[in-house]
Chains A and B, each alone.
Chain A
């Protein structure tokens, strides 16, 4: 237990140091912007990893939750002058409630059927956002006011960096806490064998619903913040591809690994920025990399590296 505890704090400390020192290496606004986007994606992916990696339930529709929250914040703040923080919390509550309501029927499904249902929900939300132009601006999107807390106004990527960095650290902390608790073990048990979890008293439905709601709320908070940060939203952010991209981040970084989620988000957020130099070939190469990583490292980057390290170190010890 003690070693688990200390390795947990070592990881959290390292993350804090990285977040604190990274700005020294960031040269310009563009790089800060990428860092902020990585942070946003990482928070969503940490939540999604609880659902996919730990509880073994897939969702191809979480961008819908992000989109709803983003539009809720955009509309209430920009049109009706709500304080952004109040909007953010209200959005999180509403999205959480929506997730809670749909979780029960959706999570009865398994495998491809669950993928289809969540995909359908996400697409329905994005089409509604597209069509209700009177409210949402339709496909053209809408401009969003800046994020303010009292008289303090967040505008520059450098300023956002610290808010997002703190939230990312918080998300990692919450995720690690949850996993290493009775609730987290129940979630992983649902993944391992639902029937075995039930016969020792785990209400599998309760935990599936719970983790679905938690991951939706993570996406919701990011949705609200991102809308203010980008100062603009369009239905694309709620689209199918956004959902898919997050799932890829989860799997690429490594299922059931909180730090894997962060790494996956970092790589896949930064990669397109690098690939834009290749212009027309960007998508081809992106798709190719996805396939190659999944073929060569099906467990994802962090767990594969972990296994490699363990092999190397056990060899160094002369084997067991």
Chain B
């Protein structure tokens, strides 16, 4: 009983960590620009597929991963510079469509540059499962959890202790005031897109040994990450992490105890229930409209 439960819990925490990383990407970009970046899932795809193909070209795996993250970051920069920055004062719907267009573009490009097959990567440190209280955990799951925790801690440090991190926070609170005190708001936006892209790519590399990857893998992962960000309350980094973990665990438990076919439905049912009862998410700001 306990073993079974722990099994589901670990598997949920693993996918939850991935959702959290993708959700963090949404939150970062939303904070800096109030854009929901529907291309976020493509960064995840680029991370995984990029590593696979760069490694296939003979580059050692760790370096291939690094190059793939860099590649995704460059795509993130390009998205901000060439598309988002060109549309100041555009409506929410317009921005949503631009990022959807970008995601179709990137996916189409991946289909040409890579291929349409499924690929996988070797686990980072072997496949010998570890037994914890009757549940078997793969080393790769531990890698996912460990690296996610490290990234969250690094981000925490970055945003609270470094000047650049504080500048990003200031910009998200009040772009006008940030501009007045001499913060280069465009550079901040660029940073946010690059950082989000890198986060997504790392998530994509981490998950590939477990679930494998192909050019379309970003669609569902992107949507789940969006769920995580919304569940936690848009723009709240802590919320995105909590949202991702809650979604991942709920999904795994639901798949285990209720129906594995409806695994993907669970995330969306949770998000709907949450929105109906808490229209601004778990940790979102709520307020009365000023008129």
In the bound complex, do residue A290 and residue B230 qualify as a contact, i.e. CB atoms below 8 Å apart?
Answer: no
Stretch at the interface among B54-62, B108-116, B164-172, B191-199: B108-116
* Residues of chain B within 8 A of A58, CB atoms compared: 92-93, 96
In the bound complex, do residue A109 and residue B101 qualify as a contact, i.e. CB atoms below 8 Å apart?
Answer: no
The interface residues of chain A, by DSSP majority, are classed as: helix
A306 at the interface (CB under 8 A from B): no
One of A109, A286, A291 near B279 (C-beta < 8 A): A109
Question: With the chains together, A295 CA to B234 CA distance in Å?
Answer: 25
In the bound complex, do residue B262 and residue A280 qualify as a contact, i.e. CB atoms below 8 Å apart?
Answer: no
In the bound complex, do residue A290 and residue B100 qualify as a contact, i.e. CB atoms below 8 Å apart?
Answer: yes
Assign chain B's interface to a size class.
35 or more
* Residues of chain A within 8 A of B230, CB atoms compared: 112-113, 116
In the bound complex, do residue B101 and residue A294 qualify as a contact, i.e. CB atoms below 8 Å apart?
Answer: yes
B162 at the interface (CB under 8 A from A): no
B95 (CB) vs chain A CBs: closest residue:
A294
A117 at the interface (CB under 8 A from B): yes
Contacts A113-B279, A124-B268 given: A287-B104 contact, CB under 8 Å? yes
* Residues of chain A within 8 A of B265, CB atoms compared: 123-124, 127-128
In the bound complex, do residue B108 and residue A282 qualify as a contact, i.e. CB atoms below 8 Å apart?
Answer: yes
In the bound complex, do residue A124 and residue B269 qualify as a contact, i.e. CB atoms below 8 Å apart?
Answer: yes
Assign chain A's interface to a size class.
35 or more
In the bound complex, do residue B101 and residue A288 qualify as a contact, i.e. CB atoms below 8 Å apart?
Answer: yes
Contacts A281-B112, A286-B108 given: A116-B227 contact, CB under 8 Å? yes
One of A105, A112, A287, A294 near B105 (C-beta < 8 A): A287
In the bound complex, do residue B108 and residue A283 qualify as a contact, i.e. CB atoms below 8 Å apart?
Answer: yes
B85 (CB) vs chain A CBs: closest residue:
A295
Question: With the chains together, A52 CA to B93 CA distance in Å?
Answer: 9
* Residues of chain B within 8 A of A295, CB atoms compared: 83, 86-87, 98
Chain B nearest Cβ from A235, distance in angstroms: 12
Question: With the chains together, A108 CA to B271 CA distance in Å?
Answer: 15
Q: Which 5 A-B pairs rank lowest in CB-CB distance, beginning with the nearest?
A: A283-B108, A287-B105, A290-B101, A287-B104, A284-B108
Which B residues are closer than 8 A to A by beta carbons? 30, 36, 83, 86-87, 90-94, 96-98, 100-109, 111-112, 219, 223, 226-227, 230, 234, 261-262, 264-265, 268-269, 271-272, 275-276, 279-281, 289, 291
With A283-B111, A284-B105, A291-B102 given, name 7 new contacts (CB 8 A): A113-B230, A280-B108, A281-B108, A281-B112, A288-B101, A291-B101, A298-B91
